[in-house]
Structure 1
């Protein structure tokens, strides 16, 4: 088990690199390293990678957007109001043109939003948005969204890059994207070409961004060699910190206090994993506290709960699982369950799908050891390969229990799900009484926990490397860093 301080073997090199900022060959073009594959820069479809979401947000616009500090700010809508009962959101659209060159109108925005909502069908995001009952165009540049039940997080959802309003597949964003050798180039679009008032201060105020998808090792070297001042897209899979981090390296490292899911989903219901009690046996055999020690990662909190306590409306009556049993007792129970199920015969080999990266190496070593303790052999496979268990590493789009429940809803296409949990979650969404809603949410989480279709491990981690100073970048709970603020030249 790796114990020495590691952050892809590059924090030591970073410490030796000094603090001077790099200089791009073209001062009007900022190189940005993104830990991703080249294909991840694609902005098509509705199931986007984190890199694809960043490109989509830069090249398109929705009604609202996120700024660097995770606040909702105007985009196509320059202002809005919410009715007192929270059942209607009315947006006043800005003056200007859409991607097709025509005037922005309520009718066009209505049609585009309806099309976007229809395209999301079958995704967890569609479930997050199912409270939208009607989208209406009002006079001129006014759009109304009516709800079937209150959605306090509607603006957070409308700011998601997937909710961009497109005209025949095109968006009227601040940048145009084109593929280039070694990555992709985002070039800023002047305001007047977006049918916005000309700004005499605009010229030279926004720089181009050259996005360089890289492996974590290559991105670290690029940062160390001063080829870039910023690395985005780091996850726990490519990060395993040691017990101590040098003060100089710590200055470059930015860890977002993200909330979401980090664990294993059961992707095959064949054989023994078709039994909920055996799936629970796997979950109880994992020593999460030992995993936290192995990772030695600041901000990583182990959990056995699907909805962690930090979520705004997490049920207060649900605690961590198996708190009354030590690891030896838990593993003895798990072993007995598998022995009974196989009648003392051969135990299955489990295929665990994980991405590449030192953090994932540490995770697999822990899982392999823990499962071996109950007699089960674990084999690591590619994240895209056929597997019995697959890593889930998603940051919540909004900090409420609904998001977590929707990730495992039967309508989202999960291999294993709980119809009972779905029913209670639907009751909670429709309930206006806070006490009754909390009761339904607690029941939904309890039913989902009993299904044991997901094995929670802890919170997701998002990290970046940023050389000081870097205007336009800020750590935030969403772990999402829009590119537009980074492109702005400091005043």
Structure 2
């Protein structure tokens, strides 16, 4: 039977959460800073920065959403069931209205979902959703998503901001957004305005969110000065800024995320034309020492593309070069650099002569790397440069991604399975070098009839991608937030996702 969960009941439960503070309730607006560009909260389209994703999720609900803990909760759909074969998800829509007053119906929701899915074609998220066969209307407020194969993490995907459903170019909340100067002001929508049962005392139980999109240094400065109570969207490049945060100002929260954090090989010119040479770069990196300056307890380095021990991991792919010490690895890598340089001096000279910034006229190997601006990136560059210099490779910063040989990839997994990692590094994603053989195995996995067969094919795909040496993994991404002690509605979680609506609730 349908799970007995109503959207307004979930909201009421969230409203009862205690606020960790002293004194009377303060219903003034909560100041939140998200690290990024000032235009991020007001951007449209599919590829959004964190600020844009936060606003999209707050103003354009999908069938389901995430709560503060990263759990899937009702949104436009207030209940659902999954058939025993895992290939049919049936959603009953809530009894309410779109923003323009039109009733939420199965027909309107189906069309909105079809448009959202079509817009994602050609993206990594689109690949993740490729198992959807059709979206059908079953009754006036009931739709079914039929799958070509079981997708155990479909609900997590449907809760992503990109799967928010528009009707007449507007979303259905749960918040509205207005631009005030450079600040996005988000106001909770009263349930009664959405055709839902009224919540008593709504105006005194919720508050506005004032979302500021700032660069890292300014966001941390405003937090230290008390101008904002929460900083979201922290990544490795700005992590060193957290050293200025004293214990009386707030706490640094780290999300236990998995995903891709490493270097993408962008071209196969010169030294990078040989997979063995690309492997030499990966062998030279001391991953523990790379992250040591950040002082992160519990960060686990890996040489694998897919995070080890995820659901469905067969355990047949292990860490690379486990039988060799770091010195032995670097000796092997250095011999490959010397062999290439001695046999390709003319090629190296021509390649480097046209390289732009960082070019050289000698035969030594010179590579350019792009990292986002920030003190944390400076630390990474220093460490990587020292590692590569041990094998005779010079590393210099590139001014842009399209002029780089190596580019930092820093993405949190939307769901913890191998397919996410392989889709992000696929030829469809068009990030840099890729493996068509690996993509073929992923395609075959999508047609597999059993979970074991699918896992085996995804393992083969990871092996193909590993041998191609198109990506150099470091370990899991680093995601951090700054949280004032008085803030409720925030929780570190495995998705690194912190929705705005839970932050808008005040205690009774």
TM-score normalised over the length of structure 2:
0.88
Distance 1:276-1:42 versus aligned 2 partners, 3 A rule: farther
Distance (whole Å) between structure 2 residues aligned to residue 214 and residue 273 of structure 1: 37
Secondary structure class of the residue paired with 2:73? strand
Report the counterpart of residue 342 of structure 1 in structure 2: 341
Q: Is residue 22–residue 226 contact of structure 1 (8 Å, CA) maintained in 2?
A: no
Q: What are the residue-to-residue correspondences of 1:442-481 with 2, within 5 Å? A: 442-481=459-498
Distance (whole Å) between structure 2 residues aligned to residue 251 and residue 230 of structure 1: 9
Distance (whole Å) between structure 1 residues aligned to residue 462 and residue 147 of structure 2: 25
- Give the deviation of 1:43 after TM superposition: 4.1
1:145 aligns with 2:145: yes
Secondary structure class of the residue paired with 1:115? helix
Q: Is residue 331–residue 374 contact of structure 1 (8 Å, CA) maintained in 2?
A: yes
User: Which is further off, 137-146 or 193-202?
Assistant: 193-202
Q: What are the residue-to-residue correspondences of 1:250-265 with 2, within 5 Å? A: 252-265=251-264
Q: Is residue 241–residue 296 contact of structure 1 (8 Å, CA) maintained in 2?
A: no
Q: Is residue 265–residue 392 contact of structure 1 (8 Å, CA) maintained in 2?
A: yes
Distance (whole Å) between structure 2 residues aligned to residue 423 and residue 225 of structure 1: 53
- Give the deviation of 1:180 after TM superposition: 2.2
Q: What are the residue-to-residue correspondences of 1:52-67 with 2, within 5 Å? A: 52-67=52-67
Report the counterpart of residue 93 of structure 2 in structure 1: 93
Q: What are the residue-to-residue correspondences of 1:9-408 with 2, within 5 Å? A: 27-240=27-240, 248=247, 252-343=251-342, 345=345, 346-382=363-399, 384=401, 386-408=403-425
Distance (whole Å) between structure 2 residues aligned to residue 45 and residue 22 of structure 1: 43
Distance (whole Å) between structure 2 residues aligned to residue 376 and residue 21 of structure 1: 57
Distance 1:190-1:20 versus aligned 2 partners, 3 A rule: closer
Q: Is residue 43–residue 56 contact of structure 1 (8 Å, CA) maintained in 2?
A: no
1:57-90, CA deviations, whole angstroms, 9 ceiling, x for partnerless residues?
Answer: 0011000000000110000000001111111011
Report the counterpart of residue 12 of structure 1 in structure 2: none
Distance 1:53-1:318 versus aligned 2 partners, 3 A rule: same
Distance (whole Å) between structure 2 residues aligned to residue 338 and residue 153 of structure 1: 43
Distance (whole Å) between structure 1 residues aligned to residue 119 and residue 493 of structure 2: 29
Distance (whole Å) between structure 2 residues aligned to residue 341 and residue 306 of structure 1: 26
Distance 1:98-1:216 versus aligned 2 partners, 3 A rule: same
Q: Is residue 112–residue 167 contact of structure 2 (8 Å, CA) maintained in 1?
A: yes
Secondary structure class of the residue paired with 1:324? coil
Q: Is residue 267–residue 416 contact of structure 1 (8 Å, CA) maintained in 2?
A: yes
- Give the deviation of 1:349 after TM superposition: 2.1
- Give the deviation of 1:383 after TM superposition: 5.5
- Give the deviation of 1:394 after TM superposition: 0.6
Distance (whole Å) between structure 1 residues aligned to residue 333 and residue 487 of structure 2: 50
Report the counterpart of residue 453 of structure 2 in structure 1: 436
Q: Is residue 43–residue 53 contact of structure 1 (8 Å, CA) maintained in 2?
A: no
User: Which is further off, 380-389 or 77-86?
Assistant: 380-389
- Give the deviation of 1:246 after TM superposition: 9.9
Distance 1:155-1:320 versus aligned 2 partners, 3 A rule: same
User: Which is further off, 60-69 or 422-431?
Assistant: 422-431
TM-score normalised over the length of structure 1:
0.90
1:389-424, CA deviations, whole angstroms, 9 ceiling, x for partnerless residues?
Answer: 111111100111111111112222233211211122
Q: Report runs of 4+ in structure 1 exceeding 6 Å deviation.
A: 19-24, 244-247
Report the counterpart of residue 6 of structure 1 in structure 2: none
Distance (whole Å) between structure 1 residues aligned to residue 43 and residue 195 of structure 2: 24
- Give the deviation of 1:206 after TM superposition: 1.6
Distance (whole Å) between structure 1 residues aligned to residue 155 and residue 98 of structure 2: 21
Q: Is residue 236–residue 377 contact of structure 2 (8 Å, CA) maintained in 1?
A: yes
Distance (whole Å) between structure 2 residues aligned to residue 347 and residue 122 of structure 1: 39
Report the counterpart of residue 413 of structure 1 in structure 2: 430
Report the counterpart of residue 3 of structure 1 in structure 2: none
Q: Is residue 308–residue 314 contact of structure 1 (8 Å, CA) maintained in 2?
A: no
Distance 1:477-1:382 versus aligned 2 partners, 3 A rule: farther
Q: Is residue 265–residue 389 contact of structure 1 (8 Å, CA) maintained in 2?
A: yes
- Give the deviation of 1:328 after TM superposition: 2.0
Secondary structure class of the residue paired with 1:47? coil
Distance (whole Å) between structure 2 residues aligned to residue 120 and residue 289 of structure 1: 37
Secondary structure class of the residue paired with 2:30? strand
Distance (whole Å) between structure 2 residues aligned to residue 329 and residue 383 of structure 1: 34
Secondary structure class of the residue paired with 2:395? strand
Gaps of 5+ in 1: 1-18
- Give the deviation of 1:125 after TM superposition: 0.4
Report the counterpart of residue 441 of structure 2 in structure 1: 424
Distance 1:261-1:131 versus aligned 2 partners, 3 A rule: same
Distance 1:198-1:27 versus aligned 2 partners, 3 A rule: closer
Distance (whole Å) between structure 2 residues aligned to residue 108 and residue 275 of structure 1: 52
